[in-house]
Chains A and B, each alone.
Chain A
Amino acid sequence: NAGVTQTPKFQVLKTGQSMTLQCAQDMNHNSMYWYRQDPGMGLRLIYYSASEGTTDKGEVPNGYNVSRLNKREFSLRLESAAPSQTSVYFCASSDTGFYGYTFGSGTRLTVV
């Protein structure tokens, strides 16, 4: 049982480059999320998807776009990377109701 799989695990980008972070879950969860984690700031929600075909902005959506490709996959795109987007990115999924989140192992992104 893989749970939530994120790729890549590490990435270095130059300012202005674009990239897509991939996330897939095999638990048949309806909801999926992208968070970023910065020192001292906890986990902040970038975007989430309550179900296939729907996406909504979280607390810090500027500079990002998302796609809920199907029930399993939820990708995060940085169109023009900036040093302020240097962070650890976590994808998570959850079932509807009173269940906890399952997190992926994270992507450590550095923008230089």
Chain B
Amino acid sequence: QQPVQSPQAVILREGEDAVINCSSSKALYSVHWYRQKHGEAPVFLMILLKGGEQKGHDKISASFNEKKQQSSLYLTASQLSYSGTYFCGTRIVFGNEKLTFGTGTRLTIIP
């Protein structure tokens, strides 16, 4: 079952912040985040493991709440280069590498 992402789309001005959420109906072992620009392949951003850790990647960070089966991606002081569609991918079993992806959140940054 696909994780649910929200919002489906968001438009921001440069410098504004955004939060993208990913919720699962199943217990999660780990969550991946990817960004895909139009016409290109998805690119890996980060992985979070159960344990409630938070990770950072430049001005992009994420958290993982395993009790709520949710992860959130935080984009701070957004730049034009952050535009694209963001996908979360969830893994429910340790040792099985396959991911189930959400339907994506389209982020548009305007000057």
Contact = CB atoms under 8 A, between A and B. Distances in A.
Interface of B is mostly: strand
Contact of B47 (A99, A102, A104, A106): A99
19 contacts: A31-B97, A35-B101, A42-B2, A42-B102, A42-B104, A43-B42, A45-B99, A45-B100, A48-B97, A50-B96, A50-B97, A56-B98, A58-B98, A100-B32, A100-B45, A101-B32, A104-B41, A105-B40, A105-B41
Contacts of A44: 101
Interface stretch (A16-24, A73-81, A90-98): A90-98
Contacts of A48: 97-98
B103 interface: yes
B70 interface: no
Contact of A45 (B40, B44, B45, B98): B98
B49 interface: yes
Contacts of A43: 42, 87, 89, 101
B97 A90 contact: no
A94 B98 CA distance: 9
Interface size range of chain A in the complex: 20 to 34
Nearest to A51: B97
Given A40-B103, A42-B103, A42-B104, A102 B44 contact: yes
A97 to B, nearest CB: 9
Q: How large is the interface on B (under 10, 10 to 19, 20 to 34, 35 or more residues)?
A: 20 to 34
Given A98-B30, A103-B42, A41 B100 contact: no
A48 B101 CA distance: 14
**Residue of A33, A41, A44, A103 contacting most chain B CB atoms (<10 Å):** A103
Contacts of A98: 30, 47, 49
Interface string A56-83: 1011000000000000000000000000
B41 A59 contact: no
Nearest to A104: B41
B99 A101 contact: yes
A20 B102 CA distance: 27
Interface in A7-51: 31, 33, 35, 40-45, 48, 50
